[in-house]
Chain A
């Protein structure tokens, strides 16, 4: 792709999210979301391949529907109350409608089925942008409308369940990453009405962990589980670190993925919702199963390889490894920083 066009598109991505962050008027927020969608479409369809085009079409249809419904809900709010302000969504019907359309936009459970298919059709860099940067603007809106309904609990619990269950039978890494995204977003929605700062913390940790995983998969050029089995031959050190990263994504204690799950479960118990907390913790086990399967193929199996297949470590990598290093270090060792992180986020 022409570097000028690429720079324009990346600028558009940044501009859209920034506009949505900075706006207090619904129309401006909607414009930011639209700019975001329109800027990522050419990036997704960059390779003229049937899978990429199909993924772009599906992404376009869902995002356009969600954005139109957001604007319809805010227009209804303006007709009912005369207000366009995001922070003053008083009427319950538009608030719930905005909540549902934002859920469609980020791919929460009853409206999730586009996300695995779209992510499967993209290359890993665009998939990384889609599953990290594109979530920020909808989450900024979700945190601002402050919904206070039981729909949130429903969305959260179904998302964690579907995210765990759907990933069980997958062999494609990008689909597994999509289901892991659904499950993590479910955890964020579960806590949204009780402690919005914990939602922010969970989003931050999810972005860090999933970026490092995407970058490692990109370095290994791995798109399904089979290719993971020879990743030890490409970079042995990464093959020993990546299982820890997967376990961190699953939320096991000494790693930093445990921090958001721990705090969310504690807050849910404090809010007298032990049943929801138990259900979420049990569905996290389903996710843990496929993370464990990935780490098993990556670190614990030695498949029979031909001599030519075991020597790619001699070839130098062309990708810059600094972002991957930073994200990996953050997603492994941040658990001792929990008190400082909470203090930073609650102010």
Chain B
């Protein structure tokens, strides 16, 4: 395991742990998702540098485009939840539990 590999792995796992265990605000969950996607962006760009694969250099941009779409959808859902539930606390998303 190279230092670069270790770095992006630990960044991703930090984001995943935050998403899984820090469940107060929807916005912080979205931020954790964005952090995970950015660590993947770094991983993909450094992979094409490390293995000298120039064919692969478009892939990080595609990833970034998709993660931007995903973040946009997440923010739209944040607005929708704020309008229907009055707050963005994840605790208040409890209408469907029965």
Contact = CB atoms under 8 A, between A and B. Distances in A.
B33 A54 contact: no
Given A64-B33, A72-B40, A54 B70 contact: no
B40 A51 contact: no
Contact of A117 (B2, B33, B69, B96): B96
Interface in B45-95: 47, 50-51, 59, 62-63, 66, 69-70, 73-74, 77, 80-81, 83-85, 93, 95
A65 B84 contact: no
A65 B16 contact: yes
Nearest to B96: A117
Contacts of B62: 27, 31
B66 A54 contact: no
Contacts of A51: 95-96
Contact of B96 (A68, A69, A120): A120
Q: What interface size band does chain B fall in?
A: 35 or more
B26 A57 contact: yes
Contacts of B31: none
A38 B69 contact: yes
Contacts of A82: 51
B70 A57 contact: no
B36 A58 contact: no
Given A68-B36, A68-B37, A68-B40, A50 B95 contact: yes
A41 interface: yes
Contacts of A31: 62, 66
A27 B65 CA distance: 13
A57 B77 contact: yes
Contacts, number: 96
Given A75-B43, A117-B97, A64 B74 contact: yes
B81 A57 contact: yes
B85 to A, nearest CB: 6
Given A38-B73, A56-B80, A75 B85 contact: no
A121 B96 contact: yes
Contact of A54 (B16, B29, B95): B95
Given A31-B66, A41-B73, A53-B77, A72 B93 contact: no
A82 B80 CA distance: 42
Given A54-B84, A54-B96, A82-B51, 19 more contacts: A27-B62, A27-B63, A34-B69, A38-B70, A50-B85, A53-B77, A54-B85, A57-B77, A61-B33, A65-B19, A65-B33, A68-B36, A71-B40, A72-B9, A72-B36, A76-B5, A79-B47, A118-B96, A121-B96
17 contacts: A38-B69, A41-B73, A41-B77, A51-B96, A53-B80, A55-B96, A56-B80, A65-B16, A65-B19, A68-B16, A68-B33, A72-B40, A75-B47, A76-B9, A82-B51, A120-B98, A172-B98
